[in-house]
Homo-oligomer: A and B are copies of this chain.
């Protein structure tokens, strides 16, 4: 497990949140992307070696919509950069962590991702995140 790749923040209005986070971090969003399978629109800002990912739900079925309904806007997950997601998934499974997907799935920003259940990590939703070369 390496650096924090990004922190995902669940927001109601990604346009308004973009204005706020561009002012806060004094940098512009460098990429926006919709992930149809997750029913989200995302916007990325770079801050040093790390990223902030703003997430807005595009459907009431989205995990982001449900999160906001339950907890309000706020930090949704922490993603850690990994070199070999399959190896890291096997290691964490052996350590007793509960993985939310058995195989890596395709995430935003050219990544293979896997989520770890927050029940085993003090309420924190953890994402493993491996870069994919196109």
Q: Could you tell me which A residues sit within 8 Å of B by CB distance? A: 1-4, 7, 9-12, 17, 20-21, 23-27, 47-50, 54, 71-75, 78, 80-81, 91-92, 95-97, 116, 118, 120-124, 126
Contacts and interface: CB of A to CB of B under 8 A. Distances in A.
**Copies per assembly:** 2
A123 B73 contact: yes
Nearest to A72: B123
B20 A74 contact: no
Contacts of A81: 48
A7 B39 CA distance: 27
A27 B71 CA distance: 31
Contact of A47 (B4, B23, B95): B4
